[in-house]
Chains A and B, each alone.
Chain A
Amino acid sequence: MTSQNGSIDKLSTVLGLYKAEWLREQLFDLFTVPGYFDELKMNRPCVLIGGRGTGKTTVLQGLSYQGQFAFAKSDKNVIDAWQFFGLYLRVNTNRVTAFRGPELSEERWRACFAHYLNLMFCTQLLEFACWYELQTGRELSLAPNELAMFRATLGLKSEGRLADLAQEVRLQVLVFEASINSIVDTPPTFLSMQGAPVDALASALLGTKELAGKQFFFLIDEFENFEDYQQRILNTIIKHAPSAYTFKVGVRELGWRERSTLNENEQLTSPADYARISISERLTDSRFKTFAENVLSVRYQGTVEGSAVAADFPSLFPKLEDLDEAARLIDKSQEAKVRKAIEEASSPAQLEAAKALPIGVQYFLDYWASSHKDTTTLSAEIDGWLKDTAPSKDRFNNHFHASLFAIRNGKRGIRKYYSGWDVYLALCEGNIRYLLELVHSALLLHDEEGGEPLSPISAEVQTQAAQAVGRKNLSELEGLSVDGARLTKLLLSLGRVFGVLAASPAGHTPEANQFHLREEQESDSDGKAMDLLKHSVMHLALVRYAGSKLLDERDTKAYDYMIHPIFAPFFVFSHRKKRKILLSTANLLSLVDKPREGIEAVLKLNHRESEADLPDQMQLFGDFYA
């Protein structure tokens, strides 16, 4: 193996591990502190909101006592300096869905589930306590009366130490499991009171001189996996938790479906009850850039020779200026056609100057004149450009980028380039996993083309990599959610709509790549469409923007929506947040239920016709659009 191959393999491995659960031991070595990390260390509830791949799991695991210990390089002396002990718990769908079914009333399931939570949280506390004693070599000086109170809450018989209690709680879980499995015949005979054992145990542990003054953090990941009634139980516990412990919750956008406690008149509100940390709002463009470059630098260092110093990502992923891009996109026959038109339309006095213009400018002048024949001519456009008139420059600034999408409409090969570090960052919309995927994909392609690990990656390779990542995430979408098939269809249809709009911009609003819903009277399709939108946002098929409006985040209809920019290179539309079109909820549903008709209808509303020729990378989906 050559040194270069070795570097690429190592880098590929470390970039390919873009899910926290895949990193295992490396998670903490590769951990990069996001700007909001310290806010999570506050002694009050925090809710961390972010899509799949935004780093919630990594951050929550970083707060766990195991994570903190790893950051301290397993230095036992630092444990006593910690102000909190994080206990990580991922909500496992296969467990929590056991607590539902028509055999019991919801009230009864609530009691069962509250008991289950008590057992889980107490197990975590006891495991931590055992770990603490093991690491520090000190026994926790638990007050016998406090321990007795804890035992009473769960009906524990053991008089032994923490390890014995932990074992007895584990046994209780198994007995409870058998009871849940035969819930009709043998419903549980003993159910602890919601929160009582956790309160008692946390208080007993923090009552020791070793842990006095500290706090426990329950780090609940994937909160969206709870059933609705279970979210209400957790909300109740979060709102009324004693100072001994608090909660740090990781949840997908719109995954926190229930905001009330078990008292339906009592809501959890921010900032009164919890600190809301939205990753996408916190990692704005410049912050995401800094964070992303730090994440990647850590992964580059030690894997690629010569990258001991932070890699220069803007140099590795060079940008293609719009004029250069036009020159690449315009093929020889089109160039000849444009040049001929320019020559014919130029006055003798302006001919040489017009011929000397970059092909991109010549193309644009011809494009604009051809699409506005009733108001201008190519001669007038050339004249305006050469005289540097304000309207001419404004038109170029406002419409040139959009016109790039029309150059290769219907042709084979790349129809639009997606290159440049800033473009890559924008495609990710604050999602670090997407960025790792893009860089990984580009690097592998670059290697296949014979490129050195730290040499600039061509615009072609960057674009192909971005298309591949879009396609990969499109094909993954079906498996992400129970509504995955519908989300995939919506994305395929909307992607095609915006692809066609982008490819024929002449005479229309440039870069229309968002939509908002008609604020009309409620219709039958509203409920289904709102559900579809919610799931689309939750699983990152779409992103949504409140704009300047102040909105309730659950008011689905009031937001503007856009296909997640990561899919823009695949469908070939602009990734930049620009202009929007209007859709009805019925339009939206028809894009899923009758894709061909739905696409045609939306295109017609926007004065376009569907086109037969799909971009190369979409050919596989030809049958879907047929």
Chain B
Amino acid sequence: MRELKREPILTDTFESASLFTPVPGSAYIYRVGNEDRSGHTGQWGQSCTDVQLIEVTTESVSGFQVSGVEEEFFLRSAASLSGLLAPLGTGRVLYVDITGLSHPTWAALIRAAIAARMEVRAVYVEPYRYKRSPAPLEGQIYDLSARIAGIAPMPGFATISTTEESVFVPLLGFEGARFRHVIEQVQPSHERIVPVVGIPGFKPWYVFETYMGNRAALEETSAWHHIEFVPANCPFSCFYLLQELARRHPNSTLKVAMIGTKPHALGAVMFALTSPSRIELIYDNPIRKDGRTDGLDRLLVYHVGAITAGAGGSSMTTGAGRR
């Protein structure tokens, strides 16, 4: 476990989604997916008359559409995303609800909102429970992804320059098959794998299931020797860990695989926005199963802007100076 430091955890925690209301005058962007938890806006949306709600209705590999607007917003276009966000106004609080949105969409929105000088807060609702697999293979205790579309960079976060030295940092979830897949594709050296496990997990026992799901690959690569722990629902702790790893390995790029919790992925994206030359994001584009989770638990609001303000000013990341 990492030592406690003076690193601010800029998170508001609500024990129930119904206790949350966005600040007056803010904008709130979200998508209601096929999981119960993504529908929490229904619990408070009607009573918030002074919050501008923007519902994402469809997402594709390259963009998304929002309710009431015909045009598609492109993830690889700062101008297109600015077309959505700029009218909301500089300095305005923008909530990006990452619960129901896919990684590429919320990551592009956060980047664009920062560039538009908005005050960005990410919202995440923990699930009450994950769906278990009825016929577990090793690494398949939970039944979360129907399949993966394969490794491809999130639009706008691609790295095409070669990296000489790297440290592989898989942000682990339950699905060992995804860990296997990224190892197979990234082919890291054994001794340069630093897996990240969420402790505490959303539930106290999730840590054991993370180990069980990923056991074979952790053992085979001996990567279990180097595991780092950060709270599963804390992007800031993940962000600080990545900062520390970057410090520990000054001549290496961090290849961070986002195969675990969304808050951890958020931490990785925050790091990519603030230190683009030090990180390569790896994403396997899982195709989520319907009803992969049940119910809602805590709601968390992450004050992302406090960390990333001023980053990504040039609207798109560039890895200038990459090791």
- Given A93-B152, A101-B61, A177-B161, the answer on whether A479 and B180 have CB atoms closer than 8 Å is yes
Question: Do the beta carbons of A173 and B189 come within 8 Å of each other?
Answer: no
Complex contact B148–A482 (CB within 8 A)? yes
Complex formed: what's the CA distance from A103 to B108 in Å?
15
B34 located at the interface, meaning its Cβ lies under 8 Å from any Cβ of chain A in the complex = no
Q: A380: shortest Cβ distance to chain B, in Å?
A: 48
Knowing A102-B62, A472-B216, A479-B178 are in contact, say whether A184-B76 is a contact too (CB < 8 A).
Answer: yes
Q: Beta-carbon contacts of A169-186 to B below 8 Å, as 1s and 0s?
A: 011011111101111110
Asked whether any CB of chain B lies closer than 8 Å to the CB of A528, the reply is no
Interface of B is mostly: loop
Those of A478-520 within 8 Å (CB) of chain B: 478-486, 488
Interface presence of B282 (CB below 8 A)? yes
Provide the residues of chain A in CB contact with B322, threshold 8 Å.
174
Give chain B residues whose Cβ lies under 8 Å from the Cβ of A36: none
Interface set, chain A 45-74, CB cutoff 8 A to B: none
Of the candidates A100, A120, A181, A481, the one having the most CB atoms from chain B within 10 angstroms of its own CB is A181
Contact B159 A177 (CB under 8 A): yes
Minimum CB–CB distance for A423 against chain B, Å: 25
Complex CA distance for A24 and B280, rounded to whole angstroms = 22
Given A174-B319, A479-B183; A182-B76 close (CB under 8 Å): yes
Interface stretch of the complex, out of B43-51, B77-85, B227-235, B299-307: B77-85
- Smallest CB gap from A626: residue in B: B135
Query: Would A475 and B137 count as touching, CB distance under 8 A?
Result: yes
Give residues of chain A (147-182) contacting chain B, Cβ–Cβ below 8 Å. Answer: 170-171, 173-178, 180-182
Contacts of B319 in A (CB 8 A): 174, 177
Cβ B137 vs Cβ A98 within 8 A? no
A376 on interface, CB distance cutoff 8 Å: no
The smallest C-beta distance from A23 to any residue of chain B, in angstroms, reads 9
B151 CB → nearest A CB, Å: 5
How close is A2's CB to chain B, nearest CB, in angstroms? 22
Chain A CB within 8 A of B295 CB: no
A5 — which chain B residues lie within 8 A by C-beta?
A: none
* A182 & B78 in contact (Cβ 8 Å cutoff): yes
CB < 8 Å neighbour of A479 from B152, B184, B186: B184
User: CA separation between A90 and B166, bound complex, in Å?
Assistant: 15
CB distance from A223 to the nearest CB of B (A): 15
B151 near A479 with CB under 8 A, answer no
Contacting A at CB under 8 A, from B228-276, are none
User: How many whole Å from B302's CB to the nearest CB in chain A?
Assistant: 24
- Which residues of chain A are within 8 angstroms of B155 by Cβ–Cβ distance? 101, 181
Is A185 touching B78 in the complex (CB atoms < 8 A)? yes
> Which residues of B lie under 8 Å from residue A620 when comparing CB positions?
138
Known: A94-B185, A176-B160, A478-B177. 5 other contacts (CB 8 A): A21-B187, A21-B189, A177-B318, A182-B156, A475-B139
Residues of A within 8 A of B (CB): 19, 21-22, 24, 90, 93-95, 97-98, 100-103, 116, 120, 123, 170-171, 173-178, 180-185, 472, 474-476, 478-486, 488, 620-621, 623-624
Can you offer 5 A-B residue contacts whose CB atoms are under 8 A? A94-B158, A94-B185, A178-B316, A478-B137, A479-B183
- B-side residues, CB < 8 A to A, are 60-62, 74, 76-80, 134-140, 147-153, 155-162, 176-181, 183-190, 216-217, 280, 282, 314-320, 322
